């Protein structure tokens, strides 16, 4: 039996991080080795870099951070609803108990990223690329992963109802414990691993995509 890939690597952080006083965002802002708290909603900045830091109970609602780069970052109990992180680069990043409803991460690079207990309904991950990405106990209803390419992907105990997977490439993705009703583009899950309780829900999503009609009437019409 092939060995299962290990999960995402955890962020590399110092135990005690100084609190950043009066954080603000502008183009090319760089935070390193800090703990960040505050309200940074509805701000606009390009090429922000955050390294070896922790964001705690920070609001980034509606904030636009084009090309943001996060390396070794913990994001805890933060609100990023409607935030735009298009073309972001995330490496060894963990989001825990965060609200990311309608967040935009399209065309992003995700390497060793973990989402735990996050609300991510209608999240936009179109054309995201990466490896070692895990979603654990997340709400992903209506999430858009169109044409995303993620190797070593875990979608565990999450709600993927109505998610868009057309043209996605998720080789060996593991979906154990997740709700997978009404998936769009379910045929993109070729090679995925599911548990026995998911067979019927996945079949319901795949048969229409294959043009198969279930009809108990026997006739020659």
**Helix/strand/coil (H/E/C) assignment for every residue in 84-112:** ECCCCEEEEEEEECCECCCCECCCCEEEE
What is the rounded average pLDDT of the residues 125-149?
98
Phi/psi of residue 198, each to 5°? Answer: -100, 0
CA distances from 200 to 68, 163, 196 (A): 40, 17, 9
Give residue-wise pLDDT tens across range 191-206: 888 888 888 878 777 7
The C-alpha atoms of residue 30 and residue 39 are separated, in whole angstroms, by: 17
**187: alpha, beta or left, given left = phi > 0 and alpha = psi -120 to 50?**
alpha
Q: For residue 170, name the pLDDT band (cuts at 50, 70, 90).
A: very high
Strand partners, 36: 55
- Does CATH number 2.160.20.80 belong to domain 42-209? yes
What pLDDT does 3 receive? 46
Q: For residue 69, name the pLDDT band (cuts at 50, 70, 90).
A: very high
């Amino acid at each position: 039996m092939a060995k299962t890939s290990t999960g995402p690597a955890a962020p590399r952080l110092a135990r005690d991080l100084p609190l950043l006083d009066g954080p603000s965002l502008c183009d090319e802002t760089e935070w390193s080795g800090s703990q960040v708290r505050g309200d940074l909603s509805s701000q606009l900045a390009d090429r922000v870099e955050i390294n070896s830091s922790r964001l705690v109970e920070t609001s980034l609602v509606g904030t636009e951070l084009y090309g943001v780069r996060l390396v070794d970052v913990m994001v805890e109990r933060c609100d990023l609803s409607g935030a735009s992180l298009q073309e972001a680069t995330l490496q060894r990043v963990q989001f825990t108990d965060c609200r990311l409803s309608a967040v935009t991460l399209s065309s992003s690079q995700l390497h060793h990223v973990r989402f735990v207990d996050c609300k991510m309904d209608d999240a936009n991950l179109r054309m995201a690329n990466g490896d070692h990405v895990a979603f654990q106990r997340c709400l992903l209803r209506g999430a858009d992963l169109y044409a995303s390419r993620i190797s070593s992907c875990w979608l565990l105990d999450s709600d993927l109802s109505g998610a868009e997977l057309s043209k996605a490439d998720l080789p060996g993705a593991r979906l154990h414990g997740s709700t997978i009703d009404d998936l769009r583009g379910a045929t993109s899950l070729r090679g995925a691993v599911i548990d026995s309780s998911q067979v019927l829900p996945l079949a319901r999503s795949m048969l229409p995509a294959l043009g198969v009609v279930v009809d108990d009437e026997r006739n020659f019409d």
